[in-house]
């Protein structure tokens, strides 16, 4: 009886995750023009939405698929590397311009962020706190640095975005970096203390 109940719970959870992924994807498609008309919305709203869609998709995956991913993602290293490279590439102004002017580039953006979102939960699950700290710290440093560069550079970096939205995007990236750092610390400190009860 207990096993049957567990299976029902897992099925419902996957259905809910699939629904969340579909709804998020629908929002992105419906509001794509509005999201991508502004640099800040493009990077600070659309990118996270794509990650959320990927997260939901990962939750909806069969257990066998998740197990296979985990086997090829020891300590979360492969997944974290992919996520870092994806984030770094799409912060490049030329890449943003390509995503707006080229269909294949836009498809690559969507696919890479969806894959990154799918890899994030299994990577955090597989990685020890030290590996998580390295990944989160690297992402925070990179994002804050790019944000500061966007704010301090007097030239317009993107062909499709004016200097004003470039400045607001820079501010948003720095704020996002700080927020992610704080959120991870809120999770990591109690987890570390649980592993080291004598401290």
- Local confidence band at 60 (pLDDT 50, 70, 90 cut-offs): confident
Greater confidence (43 vs 74) lies with 43
Average pLDDT of the residues of the chain: 87
The range of the structural domain enclosing residue 18 comes to: 2-195
Q: Angle at which helices 2-30 and 47-60 pack, to 10 degrees?
A: 150
pTM for the complete prediction? 0.84
Q: Give percent of the chain with pLDDT exceeding 70.
A: 88
Q: How far is residue 174's CA from residue 148's CA, in Å, rounded to a whole number?
A: 7
**Residue range 30-47, pLDDT digits in tens:** 999 999 999 999 999 999
SS3 185: helix
Question: For residue range 11-25, what is the model confidence (pLDDT) as tens digits?
Answer: 446 777 777 778 888
Q: Quick check: 166 and 156 in contact, CB under 8 A? A: yes
Task: Name the domain count of the chain.
Answer: 1
* pLDDT at residue 122, as a whole number: 87
Residue 116 in this model has a pLDDT that exceeds 60: yes
């Amino acid at each position: 009886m207990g096993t049957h109940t567990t299976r029902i719970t897992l099925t419902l959870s996957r259905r809910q995750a699939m629904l969340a992924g579909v709804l998020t994807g629908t929002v992105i498609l419906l509001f794509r023009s509005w999201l991508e008309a502004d640099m800040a919305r493009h990077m600070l709203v659309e990118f996270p939405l794509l990650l959320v869609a990927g997260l939901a998709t990962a939750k909806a995956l069969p257990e066998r698929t998740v197990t296979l991913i985990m086997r090829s993602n020891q300590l979360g290293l492969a997944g974290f590397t992919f996520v870092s490279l994806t984030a770094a590439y799409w912060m490049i102004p030329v890449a943003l311009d390509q995503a707006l002017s080229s269909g294949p580039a836009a498809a690559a953006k969507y696919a890479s962020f969806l894959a990154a979102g799918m890899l994030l939960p299994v990577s955090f699950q597989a990685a020890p706190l030290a590996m998580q700290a390295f990944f989160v710290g690297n992402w925070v440093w990179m994002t804050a640095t790019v944000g500061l560069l966007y704010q301090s550079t007097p030239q317009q970096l993107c062909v499709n975005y004016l200097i004003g939205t470039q400045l607001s995007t820079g501010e948003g990236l720095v704020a996002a970096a700080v927020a992610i750092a704080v959120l991870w610390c809120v999770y990591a400190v109690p987890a570390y203390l649980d592993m080291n009860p004598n401290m």
